Structure formats: C-alpha cells, structure tokens
Chain A
Amino acid sequence: MNLESFPEDADIERFTELVYRHFNYDFRNYARASLRRRLARAMLQFGFARLAELEALLLETPEAFGQVLQYLTVQVSDMFRDPNFFRAFREHVVPELGTYPSPRLWVAGCATGEEVLSIAIVLREEGLLERCLIYATDISPEALRKAQLGVYALDRVAAFTENHQKTGAACSLSAYYTAAYGGVAFDRSLTKRVVFSDHSLATDHVFAEVQVVLCRNVLIYFDKTLQARALGLFTDALSRRGFLGLGSKETLAFTGHAQAYRRVVPDEPWYRRC
C-alpha cells in the first residue's frame, strides 16, 4: 500500500466518531498505528482513495458495517499460542483453581475461539472442566459465530497439534476433533461450559466475578487510555488472588495497574491479583 492510501489522524478521528455515533462501536481509543493500517486495508479492499468515501458508504449503506467491522478487528488467532504460557497455566494456575467449587474464567476478546478451546482442553485434561464456567466475549458478532461453531481449516491443525504437545499434554490434539465441514470440528462438549456473548471493553462493564481473566494480544490494539480501562475492568472482575493472563509481549509495566498484581512465574505473563 502506498502513502496516498493511509488516512491522516484527523480523518481517523472523524471516522471513529461517526462509527461510534451511528453504530455504537467505540474505536476512538484504539492504538493509532495499527488502526491506520487496518483502515488503509479496508479502503484498498473497497477501492476507496480517501477514508471519507468509506464514511459515505456507511452512511448510505449501514448494512456494509458488518463487513467493515471485520477489517477493524482481529479475525484469526491460534490454539495454544506460546505453548509455555499454557504449560504455566496447567502447572501453576489450574492447581489453585481446583480449590474453588465452581471456578469462573473470562476470555476477553476471544475472536474466533481458538483460545477458548485451548483453555477448555487444558481444563478437561486436568479434570476441572466440568466444574468450570467460561465466559467468552468479543465485539465481533461474526467472530463469536465462528467461535461457537468450533470448526477450523485443516491446514492449521499441524501447528495447533505441535503447540498442544508442548504444553505438557499427555494425549494428542486429535482426541478432540473430527474431520468435518471441509476442516476439523472440535468436540462440542468442550464448549458446553462456555457462555459466548458480545461485550466491548471500551463501553461495557464488569458482568461477573471470575477467578481467571485471559486477554491475550488484545491490549496491543488499544491506546494507553483504553488499555487502562480494560485493565480496570479485569481488576474489578477478578476475585482476590485471581489470575490475569496476557499475551507474550504484553506487560503491566507501562500501565497504572502493576501494583495490584504479582508475577506468578518469571517467564510467562501470568499475574495474580494481590
């Protein structure tokens, strides 16, 4: 993409204001560099040279918003991304969770569900899944729809399998899926304990007390203000001594929230609320 198709800051501000007022999605505090790129890609796909043209389209044809939304949100994630993170979950978090009669977990920004399944699989392997309740939330209705289906492309399974092995699993990932619908379909019983719901970290509030919050590689798309708001929700939602899991290159260090948590293990972004 060349220079002409990157929108200026003023264009982005006008666009996000419009989207908030007309569609009730709040992108006003998303991290600017990645938002600029995503908007440029959307403009390219629609064949627009200026962001104002995309605005005009949305005003004339509001039904197009669903499609535009897909450019503004993460569409693909991975199962067991950073396997050592899930190994640490298995070894350090799960034993503590087991002391609660009905542990509740919140996967915030679950996208198309790969991470929800990953957590559910580890919980099943550790004999805890049946007692747990998992909330899986995202702003994208399309992503939630795919997450509930639990079907993924065949060419992704090899990487998922390798990742799963590295978490310290005793069995192969193939125990959990069958070939179907041109891809693999994961065992429906894994998501029996999952409540999928749309929820915005920008505009919505805490809805339950939970013992674990997973929010991996979501905060990177937020600016500092929105990141602080999201972390505030997590801190409020977590029971004392509850666990917060972030993405491998995310940290509480540059936020105002580091004081409220202690690191669980040195090498993985698991934090425990004081």
Chain B
Amino acid sequence: MLTESAVGVGESAQAQRSRSRHSRFDALVVGGSTGGIQALNELLPPLTRELEVAVVIAVHVPARVPSLLVPIYERRCSLPVREALDKQPVSPCTIWFAPPDYHLMIERTHTFALSLDEPVNFSRPSIDVLFESAAWAYGPRVLGVILSGASRDGSQGALTLRERGGVLAVQDPACSE
C-alpha cells in the first residue's frame, strides 16, 4: 500500500555513518487529512520500540473540536501516544500528535515548537510546516509519510524533505477512503 518514492540523492559521509547505527531514521513524520486517518490504523499499531524513532503526526482535524486522536490511538498502540507540547523534547519510541489548530514544528535541537501563525494551504496544523521543519532538523534521518486525501498541504514539505536527504513515502490513492 505504501510505495517509496525516489530516495534523496548524494548521501553525505555523515549520513552513511549514521546508517550503521541500529536505526536508519530518527524520526517518522506523517501528514494526512481526515480521509487519511483510516491509514493511521494500519500504520501506527505495529510500530515498536525496536525502531527507535519518534513518530510525529499532523492531521487536519476541525479546529475547535478537542482532539480525540490521542485517546483513540493510545488504546491501539504499544508505543505511548501523546500530544506535543511547546518546547517538549521529541522523545523517540513515542507517537506524537500535533494539537488541533496549532502548527507543529521540530527545532534542530529536537524539541517541539508550536505556532499560531496563519493557516498554510488553509490548514493548521499544516503538513508543509511540519515536514519543512523536520527536513531542517533531521536531514537524511527522517522518513516522511503522506497519507492520501491530504489536499495540497504536504506537497511542498515533501519536496523540501527529499531535497535535504530524507526519504518520502506516499500512500497509494487507490487504497485511500
């Protein structure tokens, strides 16, 4: 169901050394619209501590509805599921959701940063915003997953992520809701 698009070219020496570490990635960033939430049911529960990644997710949910995503996935996943708070360290082996109606970013110091700047592609949280910051924070050591139904939001961020050496996977539209 997930097809991997072209891997970022020109892997640096540092990236090659990083690959000899147990895990290929430090972060998995995921973006989706409400149509992509079903795909989270297949993506998230199988994730385990052995992967040593921080999973960070931005989904388009209605702004003024308290997010139910954390309690829903908490029950289904073996990894802890939490909502990202400002300046919280991005702990690995944890699934993090962007809070509703904030942009979520990751600093190069691997802490979360929130923003209330205007919506991007009519979306807040915006997938572009998360992916662009992840590209800067992790370079080649990030895997980005775009769930289909994400509208335009995410296409620019996906490009940036690949340009800085990360790997991108896109859900096959034929499998989406």
The answer to whether B113 and A3 touch across the interface, beta carbons within 8 angstroms, is: no
Distance to closest chain B CB from A196 (angstroms): 21
Q: Interface stretch among B18-26, B100-108, B169-177?
A: B100-108
The chain A residues found within 8 Å of chain B, CB to CB, are 1-3, 6, 9, 31-34, 36-38, 74, 76-77, 217, 219-221, 224, 227, 247-251, 253-255
Q: What size tier do the contact residues of chain B reach?
A: 20 to 34
B contacts with A: majority SS: mixed
The answer to whether A3 and B87 touch across the interface, beta carbons within 8 angstroms, is: no
B115 within 8 A of partner (CB): yes
List A contacts of B103 (CB < 8 A): 34
Q: Interface stretch among B40-48, B142-150, B155-163?
A: B155-163
A contacts with B: majority SS: loop
The answer to whether A220 and B114 touch across the interface, beta carbons within 8 angstroms, is: yes
B11 within 8 A of partner (CB): no
B118 within 8 A of partner (CB): yes
| Bound form: Cα–Cα A252–B157 in Å | 31
- 17 A–B contacts, CB within 8 A, in A order: A2-B156, A2-B159, A3-B164, A32-B107, A33-B106, A33-B107, A34-B115, A37-B115, A37-B129, A220-B114, A220-B116, A221-B115, A224-B87, A249-B85, A250-B85, A250-B114, A254-B87
List B contacts of A34 (CB < 8 A): 103, 105, 113, 115, 117
| Bound form: Cα–Cα A251–B114 in Å | 12
The answer to whether B102 and A3 touch across the interface, beta carbons within 8 angstroms, is: no
